[in-house]
Amino acid sequence: MDPGPVCGTGVRYEYRYTTGRHPDEARFYMTLQEVQKLLEAQVLCGNDECLKRSVRVCFACDLISEMLLYLKPHSLLITSLTNAHVIHAAQVMDAKAILFVGGRRPDESVIRGGEANKIPLFTTTLLTFDCCGRLYEKGVRGDKQEPG
């Protein structure tokens, strides 16, 4: 199996291949460090060990109620909300990390909440659409399962 797509610069990324429950659900997954580079993100909290975590599913949303309904465990949460409720939703739903888009940066109390709950936090100047598009292009998908 091909290890992954070739980007425009000719650099080959190493993506690990995993299969879902059905052959049509084959997906690639990336480490958070690879996600950080791909999305030009700054790490707000999370150590090197946290950045080795892998994700194969992402979920983009700005409504806490929908996060609690649709966010699946081990997902990357992409949002423009920067309040403490996002940390709580990610903790309850066992998210791998949170990416704040559009250059938004949460205040220090939210960052401390991410540290306390061992949830890596990132910020990027890219918009939600661009982040999701880049991840999709590299094989990271949304989860098509039913709510919660």
Give residue-wise pLDDT tens across range 5-22. Answer: 333 333 333 344 444 444
Provide the whole-model pTM: 0.79
Residue among 120, 92, 125 at smallest CA distance from 34: 120
| Average pLDDT score over residue span 63-67 | 93
The band of 115, judged by pLDDT with boundaries at 50, 70 and 90, is very high
- The DSSP secondary-structure symbol of 95 reads -
End-to-end, the C-alpha distance of the chain in Å comes to: 33
Task: Answer for the pair 122, 34: CB distance below 8 angstroms, yes or no.
Answer: no
Residue 76 neighbours by CB under 8 Å, 6+ apart: 32, 35, 55, 57, 58, 59, 95, 96, 97, 98, 99, 135, 140
